[in-house]
Amino acid sequence: MLSIPAPKFIEQDSATPIANLNTNLIVGNVARVTLDFPVERADMIFLTLSSTVLGGRHNQSFQIGRDAPNLELLIAKPIVEASAGTVVFLQMHMERNSQPYFAETSRVRINSLPIIVPTPTTVWDFSDGTFQGWVPQGPYVGGLLHVANSSLVVDVPNSRATSAHIITRPVPVIAGRTYDCSFVVMGNSATSDGSTLYLTMNGTPIGATVQNITQAQPQTGTGTFTATTTGDVRLGIFNATVPNGNHRLSLGNIRMTPRP
């Protein structure tokens, strides 16, 4: 009875009970699988990479032409990478003199994905007197924004008609999660200066417009965004009708909340 050890990727680590393979460590376009067991001429080798992901399953078989102290097999790197974030199984058996012998099975996690803990509601209230990571854009750069009374104040005495983002900032999101966003805005006079504001994500509108903005009472702008990728995206407040002349608004209590 032959005792055949489990095949393994050369670049996998030694973690137990499930090893990890970072495909960034693979040099070239193929992943190498080794079997630390002597093979003999005329042995038949059967290797299976089992995966639950479409495109991640692979089979190969061949006959040994001459004796060797060990064996190395090649699998196209894209096939291995297809199973990123999941566990695959390396299974091998050998036929020698018409007798089948089975190696131990390897379990390998491919490109283990980081564990991301959803963040609770994020609030930018400007209570510390800073911009809290928000960056002025376009016609609002050059000291035309400042923080006062827990608000980000737009103060442009000689504005020109255009449309532009007022502020933006990067925010982390998780693929598949939906985020509810909002902001509060007030004007500086009894009549509106004509501004029309809405929220954007990566420059695309995600909510309805807020208009007729006066000092009578604060208004709330809202928007909803569902992330398609994990990483940073850019949240912004856009003014679709920047007015001519005096232009003054107060922005505050910007919020971003992931849904359960």
Q: d(Cα 68, Cα 122) in Å, to the nearest integer? A: 61
The architecture that CATH gives domain 122-258 is Sandwich (2.60)
Q: d(Cα 211, Cα 198) in Å, to the nearest integer? A: 9
Place of tokens 């809202």: 222
Q: In this predicted structure, what is the pLDDT of residue 21?
A: 93
Going from N- to C-terminal start, the domains of the chain cover 8-110, 122-258
Q: Max CA-CA distance within the chain?
A: 95
Neighbours of 244 (CB within 10 A): 12
The whole-number mean pLDDT for each consecutive block of 10 residues of the chain, a chain of 260 residues, reads 91 88 88 94 96 94 95 95 93 95 94 63 94 93 91 90 94 92 95 95 96 95 94 94 92 94
Give the pLDDT confidence of 64-121 residue by residue, as tens digits.
Answer: 999 999 999 999 999 999 999 899 999 999 999 999 999 999 999 998 765 555 567 8
Q: In this predicted structure, what is the pLDDT of residue 168?
A: 96
Tell me how far CA of residue 143 lies from CA of 137, 147, 235, 241, 252, in angstroms.
Answer: 11, 11, 21, 20, 18
CATH superfamily of 8-110: Immunoglobulins (2.60.40.10)
